[in-house]
Amino acid sequence: MSFPIVVLISGSGSNLQALIDQSLQGQLNVRICAVISNKADAYGLERAKLADIPTHTVDHKLFSSREEFDAELQTIIDQYEPKLVVLAGFMRILTETFAKHYEGRMLNIHPSLLPKYKGLNTHQRAIGAGEKEHGVSVHFVSPELDAGSVILQASTEIAPDDTAESLAKKVHSLEHIIYPLAVKWFSEERLTFQKGIALFDEKALPENGILYNQALL
């Protein structure tokens, strides 16, 4: 029996594609029940359609408050009864009610080594601060932006000639490895969330989560 998940996107959906590919190749035993976007022109919706996954667009601009938007989103998500909600480039700030409803069963991927560089323009900010390394984090979603328990991080060196664009490419290729891995761990119940604490193989995860290396695959 495969593990039902719903994926939320706003854009290109390359992380969604990594999940689709790994589940088609049998590396990831999940069933993507639906892909939901807040933007009708998100390319990720095309990727979902090509993989025969039902899609929904919930345009945030048609709602008069975040609460109403999140309530509609929740209604659509819950009709699929997913065991996990995966935010894959979903560019909306969530209400506390929504975040709490999915506490311990909603993941996000953020392009920085959290807790550094929460928010936007992370690649440029890391270069501007003279960082020698940068990376990406998968974390549980909590009501505060980019602040939930970190599960898995992958890092890359910042080369002297890196631009925000070249660094984004390097980070993206790491995203496509670690996001499916974290989803796999959750689907296998190796990764759990109990009483506000993220556990891996029943041990509390360290503050920065697990640092990715190939041996984890």
For ligand GRF, the binding residue among 3, 7, 8, 14 (CB under 6 A) is 14
Cα–Cα dist 71/41, whole Å? 22
For ligand GRF, the binding residue among 39, 110, 139, 184 (CB under 6 A) is 110
Reading across the β-sheet that carries 191-194, which strands appear in turn? Answer: 191-194, 197-200, 203-204
**Stretch of 50-58, 104-112, 148-156, 209-217 contacting ligand GRF, by CB under 6 A:** 104-112
Residue 88 near ligand GRF by CB under 6 A = yes
Residue 7 near ligand GRF by CB under 6 A = no
For ligand GRF, the binding residue among 5, 8, 15, 162 (CB under 6 A) is 15
For ligand GRF, the binding residue among 4, 12, 101, 127 (CB under 6 A) is 12
Cα 15 to Cα 81, 92, 102, 163, distances in angstroms:
22, 17, 20, 22
Q: Is 134 known to be catalytic?
A: no
Residue 155 near ligand GRF by CB under 6 A = no
**Stretch of 8-16, 26-34, 146-154, 195-203 contacting ligand GRF, by CB under 6 A:** 8-16
State the minimum distance, in angstroms, from the CB of residue 55 to ligand GRF: 14
What number of other Cβ atoms are within 10 A of residue 181's Cβ? 23
Sites for ligand GRF among residues 36-55 (CB under 6 A): 44
Residue 146 near ligand GRF by CB under 6 A = no
Cα 29 to Cα 5, 78, 120, 152, 188, distances in angstroms:
10, 20, 32, 19, 9
Residue 162 near ligand GRF by CB under 6 A = no
Specify the residue, 82 or 111, whose C-beta has the smaller distance to ligand GRF: 111
Sites for ligand GRF among residues 175-214 (CB under 6 A): 175
Catalytic residues: 110
